[in-house]
Chain A
Amino acid sequence: MTLTPVVMIMRNEWQRLWHARIPVLLLVVLVVLWTIAAFTAHHHWQDHAQNVAQVTKQSQQDWQSQPNRHPHRVSHYGDFVVKPLHPLSVIEPGIIDQSGHLVYLEAHRLNSANFNPATEATSLGRFPLITPAMIVQWWMPLFLIMIGYASITSEKVAGTLAYMRGNGSPAWQIAAGKWLALFLPLAFLLLLQALLTAAWIWGTDQALLRLSTMWLGQMLYIASWCVLVILVSWHSRQLHSALLTLLLCWVCVCIIFPKGLANLAQMNHPTQPRTEAEYHAELKLKEIGDSHNPDDPHFATFKASLLNQYGVTRTEDLPVNYNGLLMQEAERLTTQVYREQHALHNKQLNKQNGAIRQWLWLTPALALQYIQMASSGNDLAHHQAFIEQSENRRYQLIQYLNLIHTQKVDQHDDKNTRVSAEFWRNAPRPPVTLATLIVSRDSLVTSLAVLLGWILLPVFLLYRVWHRT
């Protein structure tokens, strides 16, 4: 197998594009757009990072500077946790804008962002936000179509395709040369972006793995578009039909299918609005027990068991603070109910994502979006991992405060007791870290398989055409 003719065809295609001028202009516009996107996204990220740093610092200061006070006041004073953002968020911010990255932790509440990733993440609302990921996902294929739709059709119209084939050039050489001519400049841009990004994010969490995954996804995506452009251009007899067919493919793959799949997923697996979910949680809590009601069966049993355990007949005779114990039990129950409610919400979201993944083969654009969001740590799986970590921190902290309440607050003078600030300073507040890429393995494997399929299918179709002649 000689590669020289392939390289010659590629070089000739570049010369043709260079002389045609418009494709060069399009490429320049693409690079400019990309640069603007990179600067805008970087600026956006810097603002965001500053904001996060400021909130974290302020929250820490506020927490540490709390005076001697009652532990229950501290539990309602609350604590902020911020989702750690990977620097790759500059390229793909994912669902941050919809999901939020700041959670307020307090007693008796599971505060979470209220959002719907299946619809939001693929929403047309992302159009105004120009990010490098969006350039690769939407704009690059569009520019590729405008540059490459004529690559084979123009040879057909001019007669040079029949001439080349009639004079002994195998079809695969012509297609491979044309494919390389389209793919290599874009692959070079992607490589340049990857190298610049690597230099910037070096040493951060899973930098190499995350960047390589994103780069692999982008390369497969652009490679598949290049094969599609060549396939359509090979089959079209006229230039305008090649252009229109490819534009139709772009509209379906990049806009209609992603949006349609998200809407269908939301229709088939609807999620409850936050207020509705809270209402149901409250109802359930009332069913389980009301700590303020002396006749409540659950808390009556709880009280009886405590009195029995300590061998006393009145709560006032307990060696520990009864209110503190009541708080611990109430927090346990509240958390259980809210976590169940949250698990239901997550189950629906996962069903939505699962439904989309079943039809992901329709749209490589969405497959790439999943890969980019996962690599940058801004997909649903990373968000869920963050919420889980912050919830664990909240529960640990609140129960610690309730324990302080139980052990350090005199129950005979509960309201007026102040506990040393040292207890807040030493409270367990485990840091929330970015989940590893493994949390997104399902969506990554499916998406990479879809992209690979989108390369292999057009290649197979081209092969069948060549084999016939």
Chain B
Amino acid sequence: MTLLSIKLFSCAFEGKKVLQSLNLTVEKGQVLSILGSNGAGKSTLLKCILGLTDKNAQLDGDIEISGHSVFQQPLLAREQLAYVPEQPAVYGHLSALENIRYFLSLSSTSQVSAPIEAYLKQVGLLQEAWDRPCSEYSKGMKQKVMLALALAKQAKLLLMDEPNSGLDPQATDELNQIILQCKNNGMGVLVVTHDVLSAMSFSDQLYMLSNAQLQPISIDQSTLTLDNLKKMYQGQA
């Protein structure tokens, strides 16, 4: 079942192509990661998938989430996904439980299949932190809150922007495990990251965004050498 379908999608700003004729699909239970240098257009691609493009952007092609065009039916399309930005967007004055309750109340998900506490347990957030204001949380803890929310929302597609940036190795490992759990639960996951090792650990397919185009990369440790990666980042491979 195709959850995300990007068809010949292009995006340009003032005539300069940032994304050119991209084609990509994410299936149920599949994790895809997109690598790329700073400014390559990874976050722009996520914004396009969310339907939150800049007003000056010139767009071509289409993006569908579970069959709903993000440009024609943005609200229906967004209902199908959960988005975890690079900087975890939780309210500091609310606790983890309150944040999840609040964001769920805003979404169309009126019924959750399990108590919110179960999702917090699932992502490994320590119970003593549940009622504390999120302003006291580390970045990793906030990421977990957002992932718990994604699970509670029962989203079909999970979009993550640089999920590992700023996390220590243990927190990174925990996060990777949660992404794999999502995959096992049948979620489709699209991750934009710089962390090649993590991406290799949970991805079914890696892509490199370079020169406004997506190139598939083989997940083979022998080919992913430092030199090869440098060339790929520079768009020479």
Contact = CB atoms under 8 A, between A and B. Distances in A.
A396 to B, nearest CB: 69
B235 interface: no
Interface stretch (B90-98, B182-190, B198-206, B226-234): B90-98
Contact of B52 (A4, A12, A165, A173): A165
Contacts of B91: 12, 16, 158, 160
Contacts of A465: 55
B78 A162 contact: no
A168 interface: yes
Interface in A144-159: 158-159
Between A9, A16, A163, A169, the greatest number of chain B beta carbons within 10 A of the residue's beta carbon is seen for: A163
A468 B55 contact: yes
Nearest to B84: A163
Given A159-B85, A167-B82, A5 B55 contact: no
Contacts of B86: 159
B106 A164 contact: yes
A5 B107 CA distance: 8
A469 B107 contact: no
Contact of B108 (A12, A16, A168): A168
B74 interface: yes
Between A8, A166, A168, A170, the greatest number of chain B beta carbons within 10 A of the residue's beta carbon is seen for: A168
B107 A168 contact: yes
Given A159-B87, A162-B89, A5 B50 contact: no
Interface in B34-80: 50-53, 55, 74-75, 78-79
A8 B103 CA distance: 9
Contact of A16 (B51, B93, B153): B93
Interface string B141-166: 00000100000010000010000000
A170 to B, nearest CB: 6
A177 to B, nearest CB: 9
Contacts of B83: 162-163, 166-167
Contacts of A165: 50, 52, 78
Contact of A8 (B75, B87, B106): B106
A123 interface: no
Interface in B173-222: none
A109 to B, nearest CB: 67
A469 B87 contact: no
B102 interface: yes
A401 B79 CA distance: 87
Contacts of A164: 89, 103, 106
Contact of B107 (A19, A167, A468): A167
A380 B231 CA distance: 79
A392 interface: no
Nearest to A465: B55
B105 interface: yes
A162 B52 contact: yes
Interface in A167-191: 167-170, 173
Contacts of B108: 168
A15 interface: yes
Contacts of A16: 91, 93
B75 to A, nearest CB: 6
A469 B106 contact: no
A164 B106 CA distance: 8
A173 B106 contact: yes
B106 A167 contact: yes
Interface in A4-49: 4-5, 8-9, 12, 15-16, 18-19
Contacts of A9: 106
A167 B153 contact: yes
Contacts of B78: 165-168
A5 B93 contact: no
Interface in B92-119: 92-94, 102-103, 105-108
Contacts of A18: 93
Interface string A107-145: 000000000000000000000000000000000000000
A255 B176 CA distance: 58
Contacts of B55: 465, 468-469
Given A163-B83, A167-B153, A19 B106 contact: no
Given A158-B89, A160-B89, A169 B107 contact: yes
Nearest to B110: A4
A8 B89 CA distance: 17
Between A162, A173, A468, the greatest number of chain B beta carbons within 10 A of the residue's beta carbon is seen for: A162
A168 B79 contact: yes
A170 B83 CA distance: 15
Contacts of A5: 105-106
Given A160-B90, A163-B85, A8 B102 contact: yes
A168 B85 CA distance: 14
Nearest to B108: A168
Contacts of A166: 50, 52, 78, 81, 83, 85, 159
B108 to A, nearest CB: 6
Which 6 residue pairs across A and B have the least CB separation, nearest first? Answer: A163-B89, A159-B89, A19-B93, A166-B83, A168-B78, A166-B50
Interface of B: 50-53, 55, 74-75, 78-79, 81-83, 85-94, 102-103, 105-108, 146, 153, 159
Given A160-B89, A166-B78, A167-B106, 7 more contacts: A4-B105, A8-B106, A15-B94, A159-B88, A167-B78, A168-B75, A469-B51
11 contacts: A8-B102, A16-B93, A158-B89, A159-B87, A163-B103, A164-B106, A165-B78, A168-B75, A169-B107, A170-B75, A173-B106
